[in-house]
Structure 1
């Protein structure tokens, strides 16, 4: 049974939400947005991690990033956001 094929976008939302919440808890300071932005942050983190993992040869073509990689990707996005927006990371 392929879990992603069975639940598709619903599983992306749940995993993205969890990854976004964990990333926001790890990165110091106040981050933007509410629930939807947190979910989008986690999903974007997973996409970033999958892209970087494929580019570096860590994943096979078409293989997505795991949960921990999604959290790391979301943390990277938060740090980039803070650099662009001029907010300090404390």
Structure 2
């Protein structure tokens, strides 16, 4: 069941990141979900590094780090996707 939660969290984080980033992103929804999953994993690793991954109650710090990482990954991933897609259309 862990993989299902990873997909759901990645989907939500990816959509939130797309909403935060100004302008239009061109990556498809499935790729945005993957970017969100990667952002969640990086955010969790950062939270572990800062020692805030396990707190009592809601882990707001971990969630903020996950979202910040997802924003960066979606931004960079969309730029890469657009560059690759643009090169394919010219060939």
TM over 0.5: yes
Q: Does 1:77 align with 2:73?
A: yes
**TM-score after normalising by structure 1:** 0.65
Unaligned runs of 5+ in 2: 55-60, 83-91
- 1:57-82 deviation digits (Å, cap 9, x = unpaired): 2225xxxx854443222012234x18
Count of aligned residue pairs for this structure pair: 75
- CA RMSD in angstroms comes to 2.7
C-alpha separation between the residues in 1 aligned to 2:62 and 2:43?
Answer: 8
2:53 to 51, 59, 66: 59
Runs of at least 4 residues off by over 6 Å:
none
> How far, CA to CA, are the matches of 2:46 and 2:65 in structure 1?
10
CA distance in 1, matches of 2:8, 2:63: 11
Instruction: Summarize deviations over 1:29-64 as a string: whole Å, max 9, x none.
Output: 22241111111111011011011111122225xxxx
Name the residue aligned to 1:25: 19
Structure showing the higher helix proportion among its residues = 2
